[in-house]
Amino acid sequence: MEYNTERTTLKIPEYGRNVQRMVDYCLTIEDAEHRNKVAQSIIDVIGNLNPAIRDAPDYTHKLWDHLFIMSDFKLDVESPYPIPTAESFVGLPDEVPYPQKSRKFRHYGGVVKTMVKHAIEMEDGEEKEALIYGIAYAMKRNYLKFNKDTVSDSTILTDLDEMSEGKFKTEGIDLPHSKSFNIAPAERNTTAVRKKGNNNNNNNKKKKRRY
């Protein structure tokens, strides 16, 4: 009996030993045309064995790379993609640069920053003034999500002036009072109504007598 521990180690175990045997057979074929046909057949087989990989972008490129890996990079066939080498799989992959974002004013949200950039590029006029007011309104609303008490308009307009690098005309902007943004009382009332309803249900249940 032949044990797996006595067999050669599979390069890609996910494809199984039979696929590895097909690759080993392909290496022994001397006729180039026949060898290319067998290689294409192996690509079709491993593609059918792993249909999930078809969802990945450029999955056929990956299949050809896997074929060369299983052949220990010794297979001489015509590939529709650049033939990889063993050296290309050595070492760690290239580091992916992480987007660097400023932490300042992050409590206002990324959408506000995008709106500020868009407003800077607009021409002066009523439309731009309306957008600037909308940005200040959104900033005050977002600020109150972290500070439920209050915030002065001067704080919002000073931050807006700094975010726009002084390119906005913020004089005369009059924002609504902080209490008009506060939705907590309404939520508390809703919660109180729910609790009251639950208490009534509980009282009704208590009144029911069991015989």
Digit-coded pLDDT (tens) for 71-129:
999 999 999 999 988 888 777 777 888 777 777 888 888 889 889 999 999 888 899 89
Phi-psi region of 165 (alpha: psi -120 to 50; beta: other; left: phi over 0): left
The confidence score (pLDDT) of residue 76 equals: 92
Q: Is the pLDDT of residue 37 over 90?
A: yes
Q: Cα separation of 148 and 182, whole Å?
A: 7
Spans of all domains in the chain: 11-89, 106-178
Q: Is the pLDDT of residue 207 over 60?
A: no
For 119, the token pair is 């407003």
For 87, the token pair is 């050296």
Given pLDDT bands bounded at 50, 70 and 90, which one contains residue 35? Answer: very high
Given pLDDT bands bounded at 50, 70 and 90, which one contains residue 202? Answer: low
The confidence score (pLDDT) of residue 184 equals: 54
For 114, the token pair is 């995008």
For 18, the token pair is 């039979």
Average pLDDT, the chain: 81
The confidence score (pLDDT) of residue 88 equals: 80
- Range 46-63 average pLDDT: 83
Q: Cα separation of 104 and 159, whole Å?
A: 10
Residue in 123, 109, 120, 117 with CA at minimum distance from that of residue 168:
120
The confidence score (pLDDT) of residue 177 equals: 85
